[in-house]
Amino acid sequence: MSKIGYGHPPAHTRFQKGQSGNPGGRPKQRSNTVGIDLANMLGKTITVRKGGKSVAMSAQEIGLRRLLQRAIKDHHLPSALALLERMERYKIIANLTPQYGGVVRVPQEIPLGVGVLLYRRYGYPPWSKYHIAQTRADYDRMTDEQRSQAIRG
């Protein structure tokens, strides 16, 4: 007689020899048809009017030209950021934050004043959780006058 208890279920409830515990098997993975379709659509040539002449361009080129136009001509900040991110991704520009001057991205959950102090104390991000917590505590203890003086430098 076999032992019944933890790790030893009754014999009649155990899997039978040759019987799978997962008879349906792993679900089939869906193919990446959307990605393939999108790549095909972006590569298709479309005829557009440019300066009174018909010019053939890929859909991807048309999209990039529109993004560039919105960033420069329309002063659309999200388009400019998207364009800069693509330029960095494809190594058109090496680094968005130059050694002297430039833009520092502060995470949304960090108040701007704390971000400025973090930059002044520790340089460019990423900052450690300890540095963020310490600087936030220091910032909270400051008076309004001390905060404005610390931010102005």
* Residue 27 counted as domain residue: no
Predicted confidence (pLDDT) at residue 98 exceeds the cutoff of 60: no
pLDDT tens figures, 37-61: 888 888 899 998 888 899 999 999 9
82 and 107, same domain (yes or no): no
pLDDT tens figures, 129-150: 999 999 999 989 988 888 777 7
What range does the domain containing 132 cover?
100-153
104 and 150, same domain (yes or no): yes
122 and 104, same domain (yes or no): yes
Q: Residue 1 — pLDDT band, cuts 50, 70, 90?
A: low
* Residue 33 counted as domain residue: no
Distance CA 87, CA 25 (A): 45
pLDDT tens figures, 65-86: 999 999 888 888 888 888 888 8
Contact 110, 118 (CB under 8 A): yes
Per the prediction, the chain carries an average pLDDT of 83
